[in-house]
């Protein structure tokens, strides 16, 4: 019994001293505001994991289908892409039809073309963080309140609940991407 009490007493003392000991450098660092570098790293991770390239990057074609063309990463639907045309039957059935490289989309909402989100001026190079937040949170074209809503299949509603810090991380990362000059075709309302 004495031994058990002694062990408990020693354990309690160790616990007390550990709790009172000054925090190590890495512990205090985790509470500090993230550095620009760590935000950019997280942004890169999020952009990869959330599949932005699936729609925003032009593709090359291999035996297993389309894959992102890394030289043109995130530069949006190439400017010379024709709108995918659905047959009247497909339109009537409410179907959607995609370009083979998954950057242009025709459906009941009209035809949308994935935007250039590289750091180029034709991408988000001149955007402010507030604009980017407004696009992701409220689905506003160019992130401007007076602009039209963003069309499918941009899954902004799935991204809208991300933390401010994650949205900022994505934006900071996009600002570091290779600038690719490309003006995707403009959105066409249904029947245009
Ligand atoms: C399933 C396809 C798809 C995915 C995945 C996707 N997007 Fe989009 N995105 C689009 C399309 C299409 C548009 C253009 C919509 C329009 O013009 O109305 C767009 C538009 C945008 C815009 C608005 C650009 C502008 O000029 O207003 C931003 C910003 C954007 N996407 C960022 C992202 C980011 C960041 C990710 C990943 C976290 C992402 N998107 C994932 C399809 C997608």
Residue bearing the bigger pLDDT, 175 or 88: 175
pLDDT band at 2 (very low <50, low <70, confident <90, very high): low
Taking the CA atoms of residue 83, residue 85, residue 88 and residue 91 in that order, the dihedral angle to the nearest 10 degrees is -70
Q: Which of 105, 107, 82 is nearest to 185 (CA)?
A: 82
Residue bearing the bigger pLDDT, 161 or 11: 161
Q: Of 40, 84, 115, 142, which is best to mutate to test ligand 1, by the most ligand atoms within 8 angstroms of its C-beta?
A: 115
CB 150 less than 6 A from any atom of ligand 1: yes
Longest dimension (CA), the chain: 88
Q: What is the pLDDT of residues 114-172, one digit of tens each?
A: 999 999 999 999 999 999 999 999 999 999 999 999 999 999 999 999 999 999 999 99
Q: How far is ligand 1, taken at its centre, from the CA of residue 114, in Å?
A: 6
169 — phi, psi (to 5°)? -60, -45
Residues sharing a CB contact under 8 Å with residue 12, sequence separation 6 or more, in sequence order? none
Q: What is the pLDDT of residues 32-43, one digit of tens each?
A: 889 999 999 999
Of all protein residues, the one whose alpha carbon is nearest to atom 8 of ligand 1 is: 154
pLDDT beyond 50 at 48:
yes
Specify whether the CB–CB gap between 104 and 58 falls below 8 A: no
CB 142 less than 6 A from any atom of ligand 1: yes
- How much is the average pLDDT of 77-88? 93
| Residues 157, 7: Cα–Cα separation, whole Å | 55
The token pair at 185 is 């075709």
pLDDT band at 15 (very low <50, low <70, confident <90, very high): very low
Q: Of 124, 141, 154, 176, which is best to mutate to test ligand 1, by the most ligand atoms within 8 angstroms of its C-beta?
A: 154
pLDDT beyond 80 at 80:
yes
């Amino acid at each position: 019994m004495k031994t058990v009490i002694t062990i408990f007493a020693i354990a309690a003392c160790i616990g007390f001293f550990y709790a009172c000991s000054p925090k190590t450098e890495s512990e205090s660092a985790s509470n500090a505001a993230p550095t620009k570098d760590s935000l950019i790293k997280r942004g890169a991770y999020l952009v990869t994991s959330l599949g932005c390239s699936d729609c925003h990057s032009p593709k090359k074609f291999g035996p297993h289908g389309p894959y992102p063309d890394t030289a043109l990463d995130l530069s949006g639907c190439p400017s010379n892409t024709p709108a995918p045309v659905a047959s009247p039957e497909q339109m009537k059935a409410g179907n959607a039809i995609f370009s083979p490289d998954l950057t242009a989309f025709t459906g009941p909402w009209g035809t949308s073309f994935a935007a250039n989100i590289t750091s180029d001026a034709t991408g988000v190079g001149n955007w402010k963080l507030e604009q980017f937040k407004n696009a992701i949170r409220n689905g506003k074209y160019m992130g401007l309140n007076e602009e039209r809503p963003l069309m499918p299949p941009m899954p902004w509603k799935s991204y809208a609940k991300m933390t401010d810090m994650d949205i900022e991380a994505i934006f900071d990362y996009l600002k570091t991407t290779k600038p690719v000059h490309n003006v995707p075709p403009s959105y066409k309302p249904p029947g245009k």
